[in-house]
Amino acid sequence: MTTSLAHHDSTARPVLDRLDAATASEPGPLAVLDLDTLRANAAELVRRAGGTPVRVASKSVRCRAVLAEVLGDGLTANAGFRGIMSYALPEAIWLAGHGARDVLMGYPTADTRAIERLASDDELRSSITLMIDSDEQLDLLRAAAGSQRLRVCIDVDASLRIGPLHLGVRRSPIRTPEHAAGLARRAAARGFDVVGVMFYEAQIAGMPDRSAAIRAVKALSARELAGRRSVVVDAVTSAVGPLEIVNGGGTGSLELTSSDPVVNEVTAGSGLYTPTLFDDYRAFEPKPSLYFALPVVRRPARRIVTAFGGGYIASGPPGTSRVPRPVRPAGLKLLRSEGAGEVQTPLTGAAAESLRPGDRVWLRHAKAGELCERFTHVHAVEHDGTVAPLPTYRGEGRCFG
């Protein structure tokens, strides 16, 4: 399946017409979520996972009401979804306070105050699973938690290595069955409950497959990882007993990861909002559900307008893939010399000639949940035009890093 920017823009036009009309009285900048598309995207994630439960990555959502839309009010499981992958321990504790009973930490933590809080509460200890990849982390956890038993999951390096080449992200130092089993034994000996292993194959899930070379590398990586993952899981199971969690994948790799019989859950979150980083995937057709609108405030030249705000640059390696993309009116683009600005964003193109102060321009963000750090609310629009302002983490007075 091939996609293009023109295709995305043309299919989004009716959605943007409806979102624009529904939020016409709201001052910008504002973030707007199309609930019809969000729900369709959730169903598509479940379909692509092929029966393997999907764990929602909260970092890609950052709005508790949207998590509840997908997981149900209990934030635990609903129609093909299973629990939350949290990015910060204070966030996991906060979500557990709102009913979440299955929260897997996607990353290790060094927040000793949060660890102490976790260790002191029976319900939190049964609801939250910590991520580890070293003995030093076990030392830190034990020093903060005292003798309390904590649930832990081992993060295993899922990158592809070809000679000196390292294809994937730099995460865990744990790679081989011996490494994983050894850490599992030492954790169990120190009073931790080892309940799972995780493999995040960023070089598959996070890499657009627009070229034959990239598709070949992704296929090679999937074969290598499937064989190694099975051996690692067997080794850890032999060391500490059956595992509750064998987690892998991301929005970009659901079909591949869920096809591995060893995996019993996959993780996805970005696919709910579908930011621009997913526009070049061939395995699925991205359908954006989250946009933001900026007001035009001045016209420096005939074919240039300036919008207020908009400097919402995504994390990752710097470059054009990390900047917002204008989508309405069609044909607008950022000025190469200025980009998206802290307070103002100049836009150029033929469409700029008809824009005046007070008009709106619509854009999409490069990464999913990061946009929510810029807004206190997301304006959620139903099919009938009803609008509900949903507080983001920021809108609930929460910032977890």
Buried b (16+ CB within 10 A) or exposed e, 121-155: eeebbebbbbbbbeeebbebbbebbeebebbbbbb
Number of Cβ within a 10 Å radius of residue 356: 9
Each residue of 217-233: pLDDT tens digit?
777 677 777 788 899 99
Whether the Cβ atoms of residue 105 and residue 196 lie closer than 8 Å to each other: no
Q: Model confidence over 270-293: pLDDT tens digits?
A: 999 999 998 988 778 889 999 999
Residue 387 has pLDDT above 80, yes or no: yes
pLDDT at residue number 53: 97
Spatial distance between the Cα atoms of 262 and 247, rounded to a whole number of angstroms: 9
Question: What is the model's pLDDT at position 282?
Answer: 76
At 211, the amino acid letter reads S
> For 179-201, how does the pLDDT look when each residue is reduced to its tens digit (9 = 90+)?
999 999 999 999 999 999 999 87
Confidence of residue 253 (pLDDT cuts 50, 70, 90): confident
Name the percent of the chain lying above pLDDT 90: 76
Q: Are strands 304-308 and 245-248 parallel, antiparallel or unpaired?
A: unpaired
How far apart are the C-alpha atoms of 376 and 291, rounded to whole Å? 15
Other beta carbons within 10 Å of 364: 23
Q: Which residues pair with 305 in a beta bridge?
A: 347
Mean pLDDT calculated for residue range 191-213: 79
pLDDT of residue 4: 46
pLDDT at 250 over 70: yes
- SS3 of the chain: helix, strand, coil, percent, to 5: 40, 25, 35
Once rounded to an integer, what is the mean pLDDT over residues 396-401? 95
User: CA 157 to CA 159: how far, in whole Å?
Assistant: 6
pLDDT at 200: 83
| Predicted TM-score of the model (pTM) | 0.92
Average pLDDT value for residue range 16-24: 97
How much is the average pLDDT of 48-77? 95
Residue 346 has phi, psi (to 5 degrees) of -75, 140
Separation between Cα atoms, residue 71 and residue 55, nearest integer Å: 9
Q: Which domains does the chain have, with CATH numbers?
A: 1-37+269-401 (2.40.37.20), 38-268 (3.20.20.10)
Burial label for 4, CB within 10 Å (0-12, 13-18, 19+), is: exposed
Closest to 274 measured CA to CA, from 207, 364, 380, 378: 364
pLDDT value of residue 65 = 97
Q: How far apart are CA 253 and CA 278, in angstroms?
A: 11
Residue 11 is predicted with a pLDDT of 63
Per-residue confidence (pLDDT) for residue 10, from 0 to 100: 57
Residues 19-27, mean pLDDT to the nearest whole number: 97
What lies within 8 Å, CB to CB, of 75 at 6+ separation is 64, 67, 68, 84, 95, 98, 99, 100, 101
Model pLDDT for residues 110-168, shown as the tens digit of each residue? 999 999 999 999 999 999 999 999 999 999 999 999 999 999 999 998 877 776 776 66
Q: Which range among 40-49, 70-79, 349-358 shows the weakest confidence by mean pLDDT?
A: 70-79
Q: In this predicted model, which residue has the larger pLDDT, 224 or 401?
A: 401
pLDDT confidence of 3, banded at 50, 70, 90?
A: very low
Q: Does the pLDDT at position 213 exceed 70? A: no
Helix and strand numbers (H, E) in the chain are 12, 20
pLDDT at 105: 98
203 pLDDT band, cuts 50/70/90, is low
Write the pLDDT tens digit of every residue in 333-378.
999 999 999 999 999 999 999 999 999 999 999 999 999 999 999 9
- The answer to whether residue 5 scores a pLDDT higher than 60 is no
Mean pLDDT of the chain: 92
pLDDT at 205: 62
